[in-house]
Amino acid sequence: MIRVAAVGDIHMGLDSQGVLRPAFETLHDCADLLLLAGDLTRHGTPEEARVVAQEVSGLPVTVVAVLGNHDHHDERPAEVTAVLRDAGVRVLEGQSTVVEVDGKRVGIAGTKGFGGGFVGRSGSEFGEPLMKEFIRYTRRCAEGLRASLHELAEQGCDARVALTHFSPVPDTLAGEPLEIYPFLGSYLLAEAVDDAGADLAVHGHAHAGTEHGITSGGVPVRNVAQPVIRKAFNVYHLRGEGQAEPRAEASADRPV
């Protein structure tokens, strides 16, 4: 069994130091790794990133993160990333990492992701350059996620997790105003997850959403935004038997 702790949207500022550390210090009892689903800071300054870094440095579990939109606000995501990496956090953007847990290999593919909306109610690559770039940016994020998940499959991971900040599905947005769904996520992320396969997809961003969702391909989705889970983190147990297969391979086994 693989124990995955996850939280997003901790929005740490200079007054946040030590708020989550007591709970994080219990991780060695209940989790094998900690996923941070973006919006780790309020404004994306290196000073705020140092607060986050201190909060997670030296923890007895591997910490894997993606950035969120707040972590980009000060337009210094590379500096924020560097501060976190100096503290040992594996920060992913269109990348993957593998964590060894009791002889099993857990692969995490990560991207911040972006908006655009969900099937039938989404933006298109059409019209003004800014509008086209909006959707193209999301598509690039999704392609990075897809490629990373495929890489993890090729590496023979026993479990694979897709880690994003924006949501891949509308399910976990329930509670948010419908009008803002296109700013909260994109079906392109779910399509990438379903195409490449995963055992779990974790995201944040939707503070008024709900925790549980599922992709069209059957991958469980969890919104771990701290205001949603109302804890320092949640823990998910995965069997870690390499059961998630890419869609094409999985469908080949189905009776017709």
Partner 1 sequence: MNDDAPVEYRIAHLKERLAAEQLGELGIRVEPRGSSVTVVGTVPTANCREELVHTAREELAGMTVHFDIVVAESAAPDHPEELA
Interface ranges with partner 1 (CB under 8 A): 3, 9-13, 15-16, 19-20, 22-23, 26, 30, 42-43, 70, 73, 177, 199-200, 207-208, 220, 222, 226-227, 229-239
CB of 71 to partner 1, least distance (A): 11
Q: Which is nearer to partner 1, 54 or 95 (CB)?
A: 54
Q: Which is nearer to partner 1, 105 or 144 (CB)?
A: 105
Q: Which is nearer to partner 1, 18 or 103 (CB)?
A: 18
CB of 94 to partner 1, least distance (A): 24
Q: Which is nearer to partner 1, 10 or 36 (CB)?
A: 10
Rounded Cα distance between 173 and 181, Å, is 7
- DSSP state letters, 171-204: GGGBTB-GGGGGGTBBHHHHHHHHHH--SEEEE-
Contact 34, 233 (CB under 8 A): yes
- Give me Rg for the CA atoms of the chain: 17
CB of 230 to partner 1, least distance (A): 5
Q: In whole angstroms, how far apart are CA 90 and each of 33, 97, 166, 200?
A: 11, 8, 19, 18
CB of 142 to partner 1, least distance (A): 23
Q: Which is nearer to partner 1, 124 or 239 (CB)?
A: 239
Q: Which tokens go with 241?
A: 């038997």
CB of 201 to partner 1, least distance (A): 11
Q: Would you tell me the crossing angle of helices 129-154 and 187-196 to the nearest 10 degrees?
A: 20
